[in-house]
Amino acid sequence: MALRGAARVLFRAADAGLKHHARGLRFTAVLGHRSAPQGPMPNEDIDWTRLDSLEKYRSYTRYVRSAEEADRKDVWWKTYRKYREEEKEEAVEPVNIGLPYQRPSRKTEVKERKKVMLENKKNPEMERDNRLRTFRIPLDRVKTQWEQTNGPYHIKRLAEHYGVYKDLFPMAYFVPRVMLRVLYGEDSSAPVHYGNHLTPSQAARAPQVHFEAEETSLWTLLLTSPDEHLLDGEQEYLHWLVGNIPGNSVSSGQELCHYISPFPARGTGFQRYIYILFKQEHPVDFSSDLRSSPCYCLKERTFRTLDFYRKHQDIITPAGLSFFQCQWDQSVTHTFHTLLNMREPVFEYDRPPVYHPPQKKYPHGQPLRYLDRYRDGAQNTFGIY
Amino acid sequence: MALFSDVCRGVRTLLGQCQRSAATAAWIHCQSSWKYSQTAPEPEPVIRDNEAIDKTFVNRNPRNLEQMALAVKDRGWATVWPSRQYYHRLVFRRTQHHITAEVFSGDSVDPVLSCSTKEWALKRELGSTRSVAACRAVGEVLAQRCRDAGITRIVYREVPWKFRSGSNQTFWTALKEGGIMLSEQRQKFI
């Protein structure tokens, strides 16, 4: 009774506003009960009676640009993007735990760059190559310059895309200012960038690590895998930890946990292996992190980067980041059997259960197998008659 | 995030085979190194510390399911253009002064990878930032960045009268020569 009364009140109030609507009450549907829309309907402002007087787009690009603008505009109805943003807004604002960065003076930078660009424009060979389309850009020079300007931000964006910060440092992020070059293989045939695919056989031995560092500086290198843990999904396995590295040479650092090759279990797909380079202010006492050498006990290799970082957070700062992805191959079987001395686990993909809406007491128009959907595995009713 | 659980029969037999090979390896090891102590291998394996694993494995890598082609694509846009049924899409924009190419994932507003002549790294090598040669350069650099990021299959949808232009065709060829496949795997419904 009360509901019907409320609906009648709504109708009377709605009548006033809806007379001017293009759609009217009959065609405005809001999930079951009819009521007035809470804002202007789309395309309401277009006068469709006199189409010839409207301004036309006359070009596809102009239409696409206005369509994208309209897409980004805020509207009164809830869109899929709003639902996703709400999930993100509930999370805490992440903290920057990286190295501080002093941007060079913009004025001098702009002046120098303008000079270079003017020289390029005047260069006749470059103009000829551009005209005849034979110009090939030197990729290595572009990469070196990219590492000095845009690189750290692009790597940070990719690390967010791969969920590196979410899994390693839950409420923090850092911009990797120091470029970390990790090369696997004796002839440096398998480099590690930011997400490329490598095989466990390529990553079997410890790699050569290069990064720019002053002679008196101290660093810590860490290789961790957040997806590999066989017992607990929230923990990581520590593959390599070298502390108190003087300057550039990783071999003269204190090896706290010796290198073990990746062992992604069969059937689990691609797993991330993340290299983090920390900058130390002064020598750190890593006696609590020292593992036995060699360490093939998975319990000892269980690790959480967050706890390690929290322990030494006053002295170390994350400065470099590099990660790759690995899938199972034959050498992993060898690792499990010989090094870890255990049987190899094999997994299969478990599909998430099919969604069924909440069960109704009187399902109208549903077949008999409607009950089977909520029976949780007991014997089916179809196929037995 | 993916849930994995071991299959009863197939895995047990597989595990059985693995266990046998481990036992034989152990036996050979015993024989070669300690010739004086003839200890026979254990008839039944004792559950060691390492072997304590969870029956369900959770892989937290957000890009794992996409790479295995098991992740759900945004279906249902068959009557409109462009379709949203992809994991990563490529956007190529040419303005009056610059050329930008970006790779977006799913519904994200921010690009995952981008390459533009506005960046100083490219601007300093190019004479003109809006020529066909510049398009080619952008394509080559983006292909290298995609390869380094592990994203080798991207969807590229463009209207036909733009796609046929020389700059678009050079960009497309540069990407393909850089090793990127401009088509994606079909989702697996296993």
- B-proximal residues of A, 6-45, CB under 8 Å: none
What are the tokens at A272?
């991330």
Smallest CA-to-CA distance from A334 within A187, A199, A189, A196 is with A199
Q: Do B61 and A136 touch (CB under 8 A)?
A: no
pLDDT one-digit tens code per residue, A125-159: 999 999 999 999 999 999 999 999 999 999 999 99
Q: Any residues with CB less than 8 A from the CB of A120 and at least 6 apart, and which?
A: A126, B124, B126, B127
Q: Any residues with CB less than 8 A from the CB of A117 and at least 6 apart, and which?
A: B123, B124
* Predicted model pTM: 0.82
Q: Does A269 touch chain B (CB under 8 A)?
A: yes
- B-proximal residues of A, 216-245, CB under 8 Å: 226-227, 230-233
Q: Do A120 and B110 touch (CB under 8 A)?
A: no
CA-based radius of gyration for chain A = 31
Q: Which domains does chain A have, with CATH numbers?
A: 151-339 (3.90.280.10)
Cα distance between residue A272 and residue A276, in whole Å: 13
Q: Do B53 and A230 touch (CB under 8 A)?
A: yes
Q: Which domains does chain B have, with CATH numbers?
A: 85-178 (3.30.420.80)
Q: How far apart are the first and last CA of chain A?
A: 46
Cα distance between residue B57 and residue B91, in whole Å: 36
Smallest CA-to-CA distance from A146 within A100, A116, A179 is with A179
Q: Pick the more confident residue, A193 or A352.
A: A193
- Angle of helix B132-149 versus helix B166-177 axis, rounded to 10: 30
Q: Does B140 touch chain A (CB under 8 A)?
A: yes
Give, for all 190 residues of chain B, the pLDDT tens digit: 444 444 433 344 344 343 444 333 344 443 444 334 455 554 444 456 778 888 999 999 999 999 999 999 988 899 988 899 999 999 999 999 999 999 999 868 899 999 999 999 999 999 899 999 999 999 999 999 999 999 999 999 999 999 999 999 999 999 999 999 999 999 998 7
pLDDT one-digit tens code per residue, A197-216: 999 999 999 999 999 999 89
Q: Is the ipTM of this complex over 0.85?
A: no
Q: Do A337 and B22 touch (CB under 8 A)?
A: yes
Q: Do B149 and A269 touch (CB under 8 A)?
A: no
Tell me phi and psi for residue A210, to 5 degrees. Answer: -130, 140
Tell me phi and psi for residue B74, to 5 degrees. Answer: -75, 90
Smallest CA-to-CA distance from A178 within A278, A305, A57, A41 is with A278
Locate the chain B residue with the closest alpha carbon to A192: B148
pLDDT at A68: 86
B-chain CB neighbours of A81 within 8 Å are 107, 109
- Of B19, B137, B141, Cβ closest to residue A343: B19
